Amino acid sequence: MDDAALLAAELLARRWLPRQHPRVKRALVDADLWKSVEDRLSQVGLRLVDNIHADHVSTAMIRSVEHVVFGESGLNNHNNIDLPKDAVSLLVVLWALIILPKRERQAARDADAENAQQNEMFGIDRPMPSAESVSPLISYKALLSDFGNQLGKKTRLDGNLKRLENHGLIGRKGEDIVEGPLLDLLLDYDVLAPRILDGTLSAVLAKARAEEANTAELSQNNSEVRQET
């Protein structure tokens, strides 16, 4: 069995693979292998999903196949993984709090690296900062405090967080919520970002950014005080 078939089989079995996986790393730089994997997946109505801002690759259904598989009622539904509406609302909130700041940090670090490279006599390639290194942690207690009443209170919120975790959309580190392998792959940034930045969640995002800035400023002030003493 060739590498394309093995990689396609692994993606079908595991649902996602890290970009550092040996066969994924090879496919990302070998256009022929990537095309071969795409061809294998397309035979069963799937496509490869990848973007440089995510640490994983995955599969999704080809658009033209969705109507046949899900039917008219499925396409008119708000999702195709049987998430209740409040879980979808929670997903959008977490996407806004995690992915938007992460993309900003990745873009900022990439710009800094590009400026530094221009100042070097011999430029070297610098990869996009990994998602894990710049993806923010979301406090469960803060999420419950800010959105618990709107999203069904603690019991309902906990159940929906578990659903999102099972689908690979989020992860948990103790009391914190982190980006899952599929959060920045299967939700369309170009569609969601303008709606959130210009819509009802813009105030929520602004509040989160202000709190993050205040925390950073407080940490810096504490460091300066310790240095003076």
How do 56-61 and 170-173 pair as beta strands? unpaired
Tokens of 159: 């159940």
Least confident window among 39-43, 53-57, 111-115, 153-157? 111-115
Tokens of 130: 């990994």
**Are 181 and 55 within 8 A, CB to CB?**
yes
**Residue 205: exposure state from Cβ atoms within 10 A (0-12, 13-18, ≥19):** middle
> Stretch 53-59: mean pLDDT, rounded?
95
* Average pLDDT of the chain, as a whole number: 84
pLDDT at 115: 58
Residues in the chain: 229
| Per-residue pLDDT at 11 exceeds 90 | yes
> Stretch 34-61: mean pLDDT, rounded?
95
pLDDT at 226: 54
Task: Using alpha carbons only, give the angle 23, 19, 182 rounded to the nearest 5 degrees.
Answer: 125
- Structure confidence by residue, pLDDT tens digits, 86-97: 999 999 999 999
pLDDT at 204: 63
Q: Which residue has the higher pLDDT, 33 or 130?
A: 33
The residues spanned by each domain of the chain are 3-76, 85-228
pLDDT at 202: 65
Most confident of 69-83, 120-134, 172-186: 172-186
Confidence of residue 194 (pLDDT cuts 50, 70, 90): confident
> Stretch 205-217: mean pLDDT, rounded?
67
User: DSSP string covering the chain, please?
Assistant: --HHHHHHHHHHHHSEEETTSHHHHHHHH-HHHHHHHHHHHHTTTEEEE--TTSSEEEEEE-HHHHHHHHHHHHHHSS-SS---HHHHHHHHHHHHHHHHHHHHHHHHHHHHHHHHHHTSSS----PPPPHHHHPPPEEHHHHHHHHTTTTTHHHHHHHHHHHHHHTTSEEEETTEEEE-TTTTTSS-HHHHHHHHHTSTTHHHHHHHHHHHHHHHHHHHHHHHHHHH-
pLDDT at 214: 72
pTM of the model: 0.78
R_g over Cα of the chain = 20
**Are 99 and 189 within 8 A, CB to CB?**
yes
